[in-house]
Every structure is written in structure tokens, then in C-alpha cells.
Amino acid sequence: MAVAAVLVAALLTAGIGVWVALRELPRIAKWMIERSIPGVEAKLGDVSIELPGRLQARELTLTSKADGGHLLTLRGGTVDFDFRELAGGRVASVELVEPRIEVSPKLLALLANLTPKQTADASARRKWTIGRLLCKYGEVRTSGIGPEELKIDAKFSFDFTGFPVPARDLHEIFLWDLQASAAESEPFFRVDLAEIAFDPAQISGRIETVRIKGGSLVLGHELLALFEGEGTSPSPGATAGLTIGRLEIARVGIRLEEDPQLGAGIRFSLNTTFANVPLNKAASALGEEPQAIEVADLEILSPLDPLTKVLSIRSLLAEFTLAGLLRREIRAITVTSPLIHVSPDLFWYMEYAQKRFGEEGDGQGGPGWTVRQFILTGGRLLLGSGGRESYGLPLTFRTSAENVNLGNLASLRAQAALEIPAQQYVFEDYKLEFTSQPGELRFGYPPEKDEKNIVGTVRLDSLRWRQYRAADSWVSVTFDRSGINGLFGGEAYGGYLSGGFSFFFDAESHWVGWLSGKKISMRQLTDVIAPQNFRMTGPFDFRLQVDARRAEIQRVKGDLIATRTGALTIAKLDDMLGRVPDGWPSLKQDSVRIALETLRDFDYTKCSGDFWFVDSQGVLDLVLQGPSGSRTFEVVLHADDSTQGRWKKPLPR
């Protein structure tokens, strides 16, 4: 009886104990957590046990005892267990529901304060194993870490089969929507998806694999600060000595922060792999890894109008390191087929760059960009801003240079003589063909005058336009903010031609051109213009001026004068002489022949003339005087059939 009473009392006591324990589970759990992690204050919404083996907790919050800072929030969690396995230290499964972890210096300090003794004691007491550890969705956020107060936000999930010892090869954690930013600025690093695989037995020393799939990285001042602080900021104890066995980065779009020197639009995709990278040196390893990329459609935009291009490059092969980019240093650049958009914006850009950086590149933008080796081929000039109305110039240029400092404009200008290679150019559409000697294209020339211009000079061995030819010629063209001015000269037809032109950039505006010739052989010239029909001999000087708008020549005006004696022969009249009818009376035949022969041949001692054409009409006056008389020709070109007009005469009746 007494035994029964004792048993009842024991059962009652145990029942009361269980009842009390179940009733006070939240407090017990709170006490256990706070004991396990000193310095932490835990709040637990609810803890319940569902028999036979499920423990559920809701609304767990860990805060710092020191200042109340948030450390971790767990919306809920479920632990499935079997009482018989608990004695062996095994839990069937643990699921964490929406954990939110705030990784801050406080949390890292608390983790660091978990002394080896504490963990060793805990380990000595019991080695717990979990059959499955699951988290379908969680969030982690870092703040206030490092001198740059790097902020990282990410979402994560994992499903470990066997913990800590994995049932399969490795544990995997998936992170997505990862964003890293410094202080209050926009995120400079975004990761679409990251897969982290690790062996828990080696977690303190090694992460097997980190795969980054998709994302973007802005190379700018935040990243530079991160690189600079990497060697000086204290590494968190948890990551010191941690090595990544394999770091794979795929499809991460790199964008260079808009730089006044280089402009916007520098983007490329990063795909690379590293092996055995120390975690705290991962950024350095990534930074020093040689990269070779081909950038397509690189554009530098106008400083005043981002819809206007000043330079566009179809393809650019750059060799660099990310750390080098942050130092504004590029190992090698090979540019093929760049287009310089010659418009006022180009010269605004030159002026803007000079104001911004000064001649020595010490402006507020910091040191200038340096390119250790620079090769450029197939460059072209395009008149216009790349809009619909742009006109390419028929010249290419190239250059190669070492240690080009893009920030030091004075140095750049000295080095920026682009070579126009010797080449034979054939433009069938324009019926233009020429063979050039090496020429050059210079920016800001002459440098001592601080001009904002481009000056191109080319010497031509031979030039042919339609049937006209010239030899030993030269063309010098100066582009500046107001327009294009050019001069040219060359030997042609026994004499020397020289001329010039002046355009405004506005396609609607007027332009002028002029051409003069000295001692031009009229024999050679007329043999080309009207072979076998008309010939004049003797040297001539001439000059002409063209006024035009767009492609429409509005006026041509000029004059000519013979510098020595010569002869005029209108050989075309021989056809008429041959067609004098035999049936005519001999007197009539002879008269006609004498008249035509008189007109056909004429030796002159003086010859002068002038001409003008407006639109499609004009007048050529030519006066020749010689021992046998004079010839006065007036050729009037009428635009239409009308006889009414200021310089028109009625047709003879």
C-alpha cells in the first residue's frame, strides 16, 4: 500500500513536473539560449510540444543585452524527434521558418566570445546530430562591418540531409537577390544566385565551392574603398583563414561607374574561375586576376547631351585587372574601327575634360587613366553625332603608344598623333581614287595655342577624280567647334592647283570652296575635258569660288587668264567641214570652208575670260586676241526654255 502511495506520489510529482515544464517551456528555452550565448537576450513567443515528438517554437527574437540591437528573428521552427533517439543525441529534423539574421559587429563579437572552452564543454557533453536541417526561406543582412560599413542583404535557403555530418557529399546553401552597398549609397554588387557548398567538418577552414551565377558589379568608389580597406580592416574571426576551394563567377555584368574621361556605357560580362582563394583575399584575387574582354558598342557621350556620341567603338579588346581598373590603369587596349564623331560636342568634350582634369590630370576626378599599351587600327572620322545625318570621311587612322595617360591632356596631345597609313583608296561610288603617303591626325594642334580641334594632314602620291588627275598633292583639314576648314594643293596638268573649303557642322548651313590654278597647261586640260573636239594650248591661271548649301551648289564664279600665247582649235568643226554638200556651188562651198576654218583655228596672244553659274544657269565670257583678229565667245546656259531674264536675250529670228 505504501509502495502504491509512493508510486502515485511519484507519478503525480512527475506529472506536475511535466505539466510545469510544458507550461514553462518558453522560459526554459529562453534560459537555455541565454545561457548558451552570453550577452544575448532572447524573446520567445511560444513553444509547444506535440506528442509523440514535435517541438514547435514561434517568434524567437535575439537581441543584444548591451544595447538592445537586433541579432536574429525566427518566425518559427519545428523540431521533430523520437524520445528514444534523444538519448543518443539525434534529432530527426529541424525546420527553421523565415529566419532573419542581422550580422553586425555585435553578433560577430558574441560569436567570438563563445570561447573554445565553452564549445569544447558543450561538445564534450553531447554531439547532437540532425537528420535533416531545412530552411526554405531566410534573410540575412550585414551592417556596420568594416570601415566602409558594408551592407549586404541576401535571401537564402538550405536543405541539409544530415547535420553536421552530411549524408551526401556536401552541404549546399543557396543565396539569391544578394545586394552589397556601402553606407547609404546604391548597391554596387548584385548577385542573382550564389551556390555555396561546404563540408561542415572543414567549415572553419574551407568552403569547397562558391558559384555566382548572374549579377552585376559597379566598379566605382565603393569598390575601391573596399579594396583599399581589405588589408587594413580586421577580419572577422569567423572568416580568418577560410579558403574557397573553387570560386566560379559567371555572367556577372561589370559596369564602370560613369567617368567623365571615359563616359558612360562601359559594360562587360565577367566569367572566371579561381582555385583555393583565401576568403579574406577573394576580392584581391578577383582584383588581380588578368581579364581579357572584348567590349562591343562602347560609347563616350557628349558632356552636354547624352543622346549625342563623341566616340563609338564597335570592338575594344582590353586586358586589365579589376584592381587595375580601380586604380584607373589598363594593361593593354586594342581598339579596332573606332569612330570619332566630329561635331561641336566633340570639342565641348575636349574642353570639358580639360576643365575637369586640368593639363596634369589632377582635378577632382583624381588621377587620370593610364593605358600601358595602346593599339588602335582602322579608325575613322564621322561628321555628325552618329544620328541619321552623318557622313564618313574616306580616311582611316591608326596608332600605337605606351603608357598613355588619358588624364594628362598635355601628355596625351603630344602622344595623340594618329597615323594615317599609306594606302590606296578606291571609292567607286564617288569615282575617286587616291594613293596616300603616311599622314597624321592630331588633336589640339598646335598644342601651344591650346586649340580644341583636330587637324588631319595627308599627302597623296596620286589622285584621280573622274577623268581628272593630280600628283604630289596634300590635304590639310581642321575640325573645330564651328566647322570644318580645309586646304589642299597639288601638281596637276603641268601647273599647281591650290584650294580650300569651309563648312559649318549644321547640315542645313552654307559652305564655300575655292580653287585656283597657276600655269595650268590648257592643252593637257582640254585634252581631258573634250578630247579631239576642242583644244587650247598655253598656260593659264584661273580661280573659282563655289557657294553651296547642303549638296546643292548655288553659285560658281571665276575667271581665267592666259599667261603666254597659245592657240585655239575647235576640231569638232572638222566634222562640219567634212559634211559640206558636194552639190553646192563651188563658191558657196569655198565660202563655208573658209568661214569654218577661220573659226576652227586661232592663234592668240591674249586670252581672258570669266564665268558664273547660279543654280542651273550661267554665263561664260571668253575673249581671245591675236595677230589675225579676235574671238569673243559668250556662252549662256539657260535653266529652261524661257527667253525672259536679266541676262537673257531673245532668240534670233
Partner 1 sequence: MKPTLLLSLCALLSSCKAPSVNLATPDPIKVDIAMRVDVYQHSNNRATVKEKTKPVAEDPAARRRNRMADIQAFKNDRLVGEARDGLIVIVKTPEGEHGDYVRKTVEAENADRAQQMKDLAETRKISLPEIQSEQGALWRNRAFEGELIEVEIEPGTWKWSAKGG
Residue 298 CB, shortest distance to partner 1, in Å, is: 12
- Residue whose CB is less far from partner 1, 297 or 575: 297
Phi, psi of 91 (to 5 degrees): -115, 135
DSSP 653: -
Q: Pick from 30, 42, 44: which is nearest to 70 by CA?
A: 42
Verify binding: residue 205, partner 1, rule CB under 8 A. no
Contact at 8 Å (CB) between 205 and 241?
yes
Of 132 and 255, nearer to partner 1 (C-beta) is 255
Answer for which of 23, 43, 550, 606 binds partner 1 (CB under 8 A) is 550
Contact between 393 and partner 1 by CB under 8 A: the answer reads: no
Return phi, psi of residue 462, to 5°: -150, 150
Task: Find the binding residues for partner 1 in span 496-525 (CB under 8 A).
Answer: 506-508
CB of residue 630 vs partner 1: minimum separation in angstroms? 5
183 binds partner 1 (CB under 8 A): no
634 belongs to the binding site for partner 1 (CB under 8 A):
yes
Evaluate the omega torsion of the peptide bond into residue 52 and state whether it is cis, within 30 degrees of 0: yes
Do 141 and 151 touch, CB atoms closer than 8 A? yes
| 651 lies in the binding site for partner 1 (CB under 8 A) | yes
Residue 508 CA, chain-centre distance (Å), reads 30
Least Cβ distance, residue 598 to partner 1 (angstroms): 5
The site for partner 1, by CB under 8 A, has a size of 44
Torsion of CA 489, 492, 496, 500, to 10 degrees: -30
With contacts defined by CB under 8 A, name the span among 75-83, 144-152, 212-220, 625-633 that binds partner 1: 625-633
* Residue 387 interacts with partner 1 (CB under 8 A): yes or no: yes
- What is the pairing mode between strands 495-504 and 40-50? unpaired
Whether residue 352 contacts residue 324, with contact meaning beta carbons closer than 8 Å, is answered with: no
Cis amide bond preceding 164, omega within 30: yes
Backbone angles phi, psi at 43, to 5 degrees: -125, 135
CA-based nearest residue to 138, from 81, 76, 79, 196: 76
Nearest approach, Cβ of residue 389 and partner 1 (Å): 4
Q: Closest separation between CB of residue 111 and partner 1, Å?
A: 32
What is the Cα–Cα distance from 1 to 297, expressed in whole angstroms?
Answer: 97
SS3 119: helix
Q: Which three cell numbers stand for residue 609?
A: 575670260
Q: Which of 89, 355, 616, 645 binds partner 1 (CB under 8 A)?
A: 616
User: Measured from the CB atom, is 52 or 627 closer to partner 1?
Assistant: 627
C-alpha 32: how far from its chain's center?
59
- Whole-number minimum distance, CB 635 to partner 1, in Å? 5
Answer yes or no: are the C-beta atoms of 616 and 634 closer than 8 Å: no
Is residue 605 close enough to count as binding partner 1 by CB under 8 A?
no
User: Binding to partner 1 by residue 136, rule CB under 8 A?
Assistant: no
Residue closer to partner 1, measured from CB, 46 or 305? 305
Our finding on whether 577 is near partner 1 (CB under 8 A) is no
Q: Which of 34, 82, 258, 527 binds partner 1 (CB under 8 A)?
A: 258
Distance (Å, rounded) from C-alpha 241 to C-alpha 278? 7
Segment (H or E) for 426: strand 423-427
Q: By C-beta, is 124 or 307 nearer to partner 1? A: 307
By CB under 8 A, residue 599 contacts partner 1? yes
Binding mask 264-283 for partner 1 (x = CB under 8 A): x-------------------
Residue 549 binds partner 1 (CB under 8 A): yes
Residues forming a β-bridge with 331: none
Strands 432-436 and 453-465 come out as antiparallel
* Whole-angstrom distance, CA of residue 348 vs CA of residue 142: 44
Decide: is 221 part of the binding site for partner 1 (CB under 8 A): no
575 binds partner 1 (CB under 8 A): no
Q: Shortest Cβ distance from residue 308 to partner 1 (Å)?
A: 6
Distance CA 266, CA 118 (A): 52
Instruction: Return the bridge partners of 79, or none.
Output: 55, 94
Q: Which stretch binds partner 1 (CB under 8 A): 112-120, 207-215, 438-446, 547-555?
A: 547-555
Q: Does 301 bind partner 1 (CB under 8 A)?
A: yes
Q: How far is the CB of 221 from partner 1 (least distance, A)?
A: 15
Residue in 121, 288, 297, 402 binding partner 1, rule: CB under 8 A: 297
Q: Count Cβ atoms below 10 Å from residue 300 Cβ, excluding itself.
A: 23
Strand, helix or coil at 292? Answer: strand
Nearer to partner 1, 491 or 615 (CB): 615
Give the shortest CB-638-to-partner 1 separation in angstroms: 5
- Binds partner 1 (CB under 8 A): choice among 5, 51, 551, 587: 551
* Residue closer to partner 1, measured from CB, 301 or 395: 301
Shortest distance in whole angstroms from residue 623 CB to partner 1: 9
Among 206, 398, 543, 631, binds partner 1 (CB under 8 A): 631
Residue 400 grid coordinates: 600605337
Q: From the list 67, 640, 644, 646, which residue makes contact with partner 1 (rule: CB under 8 A)?
A: 640
CB of 552 to partner 1, least distance (A): 5
Looking at beta carbons only, is 204 or 632 nearer to partner 1? 632
649 binds partner 1, rule: CB under 8 A: yes
The residues near 557 (Cβ < 8 Å, ≥ 6 apart) are 544, 545, 547, 610, 611, 612, 613
Q: Are 255 and 216 in contact (CB under 8 A)?
A: yes
Task: Please return the burial class of 315, using the count of CB atoms within 10 Å of its CB with bins 0-12, 13-18 and 19+.
Answer: middle
Termini Cα distance of the chain: 161
- Binding status of residue 184 toward partner 1 by CB under 8 A: no
d(CA 509, CA 575): 47
- Kindly tell me which residue out of 63, 308, 370, 537 binds partner 1, with binding defined by CB under 8 A: 308
Cell of 224: 575601391
Does residue 24 bind partner 1 (CB under 8 A)? no
State which residue, 162 or 260, has the beta carbon closest to partner 1: 260
- Residue from 63, 385, 473, 478 in contact with partner 1 (CB under 8 A): 385
Contact positions vs partner 1 (CB under 8 A): 258, 264, 297, 301, 303-308, 344, 384-385, 387-389, 506-508, 549-552, 598-599, 615-616, 627-641, 649, 651
